[in-house]
């Protein structure tokens, strides 16, 4: 029976469940109410029942400039009037996008295009194994790098499965799972120990420079610098998964912020402000292994570098280059939000820690310090979900799932942030009254 508060959305969700497994096309999209969305503009989305939400979910961060940004949409419309999809040769848009990525990304000399971040990571991992002749990969507990078998393990693991074998899905071959080793973020010794045990077998270390898939664990300078030195010493590649951090925190990615060049970079999400696009970039000698004429690593994908994806990505980059104050604004708004949340939990005497970087903010319900996944095991998951649910019910869309982050786009304003903090006070007071915190 349709929900009295969300009758049309509930009806759409029910119809979806009859023809789509679980009613959604990606496993974490089902959140109950609101069930379905019909409009998006700037910093706001509207559900099927006419309820308007200030959007902090931002499609897991894919919306960087704001929903339906005019410059991006205009570029896509123009692309539709030209070549659509031939699947042979190369287009000027593909060349322009690769040139622009090489221009802005410190570690890039060459680039391949994919349709998503997951595909980009799968290509990067395959390339690392090919160029090193080694079989093992190291990832960090809590890091998410897409759905491919090589990395689909140990993300938001419960305490009894953290650091052990914790696959994201059935159907993955045991040898694929066991070929990926698990380390602790911000703990260089945990990585060094794996290199000692598995001598000359580790092809690459892959990391989100900021593990945003568990909120916002900020790397220490010593950790990132040490990781760069360690991988070079041991003959392994360092892969920065900048699918979330790329473009969001700096035009040149988080690698530009920390001044560390990885061997390979994967990117996606905010690259095209909501249109499907991604890629891998790195030094020419590594990337030439993808050369279809002389290389030894397969690059395939009918929709790679399609006209719409390239146009959207170019327009997004163009806008950011033409508006350098984008980063000043979103970083300032993010800092205002984090400072405000810190003041609230201090005033209300709630055990919580504010975290984030740039325009991303998180409220962990745990005492500081929070440097790695072991610290996140102290988080009050019930309170985390309840806070996000309470904010959503008040018109501020936040994914009601523990450890998920919130994003400020180029369309958010100071007034939006201040209204959010007012609502956050109400939610936190209610949570304290209910004994949730």
Identify the pLDDT of residue 157: 97
Tokens describing residue 264: 């390979």
* 5: DSSP letter: S
Write the CB contacts of 387 (distance below 8 Å, at least 6 apart in sequence).
363, 365, 398, 424, 427, 428, 431
User: In this structure, are 418 and 339 located in the same domain?
Assistant: yes
Domain count, the chain: 2
What is residue 4's predicted lDDT score, i.e. its pLDDT? 72
Residue-level length of the chain: 437
As a dihedral over the C-alpha atoms of residue 395, residue 64, residue 228, residue 236, rounded to 10 degrees, the angle is 100
Give one DSSP letter per residue of 65-80, joined into a string: S-BT-HHHHHHHHHHH
The tens digit of pLDDT for each residue in 119-137 reads 999 999 999 999 999 999 9
333 and 294: one domain? no
* 387-to-112, 142, 271 alpha-carbon distances in Å: 40, 21, 29
- As a whole number of angstroms, the distance between CA 224 and CA 148 comes to 25
Residue 68, Cβ density class (10 Å: 0-12 exposed, 13-18 middle, ≥19 buried) = middle
Provide the whole-model pTM. Answer: 0.96
pLDDT at 38: 97
> Does 261 share its domain with 363?
no
User: Which of 322, 357, 388 delimits the end of a domain?
Assistant: 322
**What pLDDT sits at residue 1?**
43
**Co-location of 287 and 352 in the same domain:** no
Show the tokens assigned to 9.
């959305």
Q: What is the pLDDT of residues 226-250, one digit of tens each?
A: 999 999 999 999 999 999 999 999 9
Q: Which stretches in the chain have pLDDT values below 70?
A: 1-3
What is the reported pLDDT for 5?
86
CATH of the domain at 372: 3.90.1150.10
- For residue 219, give the DSSP letter: P
DSSP, res 250: B
DSSP string of 312-345? HHHHHHHHHHH-THHHHHHHHHHHHHHHHHHHHH
Which residue, 268, 298, 322, sits at the end of a domain?
322
Strand order in the sheet with 110-114: 110-114, 278-282, 264-267, 237-241, 202-207, 136-140, 180-183
Tell me, yes or no, whether 186 and 75 share the same domain. yes
Residue 234 and residue 154 share a domain: yes
Torsion of CA 423, 429, 435, 437, to 10 degrees: 70
Domain that holds residue 301: 70-322
Distance CA 214, CA 244 (A): 12
Residue 270 lies in a domain: yes
The CA distance from 286 to 365, in Å, is 43
Six-digit token string for 396? 């501020």
């Amino acid at each position: 029976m349709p929900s009295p508060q969300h009758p049309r959305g509930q009806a759409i969700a029910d119809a979806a469940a009859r023809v789509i497994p679980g009613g959604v096309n990606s496993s974490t999209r089902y959140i109950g109410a609101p069930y379905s969305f019909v409009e998006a503009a700037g910093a706001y989305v509207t559900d099927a029942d006419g309820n308007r939400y200030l959007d902090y979910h931002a499609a897991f961060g894919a919306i960087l400039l704001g929903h339906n940004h005019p410059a991006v949409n205009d570029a896509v419309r123009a692309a539709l009037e030209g070549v659509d999809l031939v699947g042979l040769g190369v287009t000027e848009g593909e060349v322009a996008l690769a040139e622009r990525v090489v221009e802005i990304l410190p570690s890039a000399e060459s680039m391949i295009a994919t349709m998503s971040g997951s595909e980009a990571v799968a290509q990067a991992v395959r390339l690392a194994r090919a160029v090193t002749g080694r079989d093992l990969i190291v990832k960090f507990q809590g890091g998410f790098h897409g759905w491919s078998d090589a990395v689909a393990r140990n993300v938001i693991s419960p305490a009894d499965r953290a650091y052990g074998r914790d696959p994201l899905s059935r159907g993955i071959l045991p040898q694929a799972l066991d070929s990926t080793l698990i380390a602790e973020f911000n703990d260089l010794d945990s990585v060094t120990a794996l290199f000692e045990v598995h001598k000359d077998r580790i092809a690459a270390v892959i990391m989100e420079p900021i593990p945003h898939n568990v909120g916002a664990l900020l790397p220490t300078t010593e950790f990132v610098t040490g990781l760069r030195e360690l991988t070079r010493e041991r003959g392994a590649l360092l892969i920065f998964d900048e699918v979330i951090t790329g473009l969001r925190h700096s035009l040149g990615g988080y690698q530009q912020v920390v001044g560390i060049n990885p061997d390979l970079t994967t990117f996606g999400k905010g690259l095209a402000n909501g249109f499907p696009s991604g890629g891998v970039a790195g030094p020419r000698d590594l990337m030439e292994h993808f050369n279809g004429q002389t290389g030894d690593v397969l690059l395939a994908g009918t929709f790679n570098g399609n006209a719409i994806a390239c146009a959207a990505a170019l327009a997004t980059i163009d806008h950011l280059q033409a508006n350098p104050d984008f980063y000043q604004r979103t970083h300032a708004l993010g800092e205002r939000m984090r400072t405000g949340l810190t003041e609230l939990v201090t005033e209300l005497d709630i055990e919580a820690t504010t975290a984030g970087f740039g325009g991303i903010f998180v409220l962990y319900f745990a005492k500081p310090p929070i440097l790695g996944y072991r610290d996140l095991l102290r988080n009050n998951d019930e309170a985390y979900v309840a806070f996000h649910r309470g904010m959503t019910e008040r018109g501020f869309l936040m994914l009601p799932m523990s450890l998920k982050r919130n994003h400020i786009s180029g369309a958010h304003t100071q007034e939006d942030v201040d209204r959010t903090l007012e609502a956050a006070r109400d939610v936190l007071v209610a949570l304290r009254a209910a004994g949730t915190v």
